[in-house]
Amino acid sequence: MREQLISDYLRSMPSPACAYLYDLRHLQERSQRLRGALPPQCKLFYAIKANSDAPILDTLRHNLDGFEVASLGEIEKVRATDHKTPIVFGGPGKTDAELEGALKHSVMLIHVESEHQLRRLNWIAGRRRQAARVLLRLNPAALPGETRATLRMGGQATQFGIDEAQMPEMIALSQNLPNIRLEGLHIHALSNNLDAADHLALVRHYLELAQAWERRYGIRFSWLNAGGGIGINYADPATQFAWDGFCEGLHALLEQYRPGFKLIFECGRYISADCGCYVAEVIDIKTTHGKNFAILRGGSHHFRLPSSWQHNHPFTVFDRESWHYPFPRPGLTDADVTVCGELCTPKDTLARDVRVARLRAGDCLVFSLAGAYGWHISHHDFLSHPHPDRRYFNG
């Protein structure tokens, strides 16, 4: 995200500033670079739940291989920007209407998460005289090594996917149902993994599982979807997932295993986090029980990620010099501050005890890495404050 863009915006904005700023050129360059480093046998999809705004989808559809969606609403959002971009469709609770909608909108692959879902899909596809192309979503028995991630969806009891022990029956059933075309496996087992070597070990494990089942059932998969889950380092923004090293490792892995299928990566956070920031003006500064607090125009109703993940979200201070009140300006120098929003709940905290060189009422905080799971996971109308200004630049 370009600094200049943020400072130009803030210079032109009246007080109190509160906004999401998104840089589409940055998103375009980033997505091209990420996709360009992958081996040709790998496809990069974007999981749109991270940020499904039309300008984001419109930028990414030209630069990636397709979109991952998890509801009929998301299918419709993708189809509103384009009628032929490849879509893969996941989610544990797909309704009949959603399965029907997926077939109607020519979704490329449906990720099936249970036996009942598979039978319903077969039944609906039969009624429509259509074949459904399917990946079975696997919940693996175990994940290799000690994979460090913020959330786990597989390798343990969760609502996601099909237990590894039940896969043989599910593969057999997929082959027997007349309107199902089994095209491979889908495995999305974790979120926010920061370690490229760990992630490579995960992909190796998935490759081995897929090839073992191909041999055992005498089938040929067309696809292995290895999920998303590549992380963003919020604690230390200068040190991020080693994408180029990961891609080099993938090249070597594909040389070694020579799979007959293509691989999909369906990343959300890793693609769009860095294209957006959340900016909020400091309305007040005070000290209670010995701790300093900065109160923002804004907060977790716009940007729920830090309270949801209970992390300190990285920010920088943008100085604003104008001060129009005829009394002194509250401020801190070289002090720790806890940054809170305008809501009437102590959960509305975006960062705790962070050192600042100087912070004054009227300055703005710029929270970086807010382009994914920011606005889109937040409870916008709790307390009925005005929404932030949301701007897309360089479209």
Binding site for ligand PLP (CB under 6 A): 47, 49-50, 68, 70, 90, 188, 191, 227-230, 266-270
Q: The tokens of 312 are what?
A: 């300190």
355-378 in b/e form (b: 16+ CB < 10 A) is: ebeebbbbbbbbbbbbbbbbbbeb
Shortest Å, Cβ 50 to ligand PLP: 5
Is 344 noted as a catalytic residue in this protein? yes
132-139/180-186 β-pairing:
parallel
According to DSSP, residue 147 is labeled -
291-296/315-318 β-pairing:
unpaired
Bridge partners (DSSP) listed for residue 315: 367
Catalytic hit among 247, 340, 344, 364: 344
List of residues 6+ apart from 177 with CB closer than 8 A? 118, 119, 122
Peptide bond into 306 cis (omega under 30): no
| Of residues 1 and 153, the one with the C-beta less far from ligand PLP | 153
Shortest Å, Cβ 46 to ligand PLP: 9
| Of residues 268 and 388, the one with the C-beta less far from ligand PLP | 268
Shortest Å, Cβ 376 to ligand PLP: 11
Q: Which of 378, 354, 281 is nearest to 320 (CA)?
A: 281
Q: Which of 295, 296, 311, 302 is nearest to 277 (CA)?
A: 302
Q: The tokens of 17 are what?
A: 């500033």
| Of residues 91 and 341, the one with the C-beta less far from ligand PLP | 91
Shortest Å, Cβ 237 to ligand PLP: 17
- Angle at which helices 24-37 and 243-257 cross, to 10°: 30
| Of residues 160 and 318, the one with the C-beta less far from ligand PLP | 160
Q: CB 338: neighbour CB atoms within 10 A?
A: 17
| Of residues 317 and 377, the one with the C-beta less far from ligand PLP | 377
Tell me which residues are annotated as active site. 344
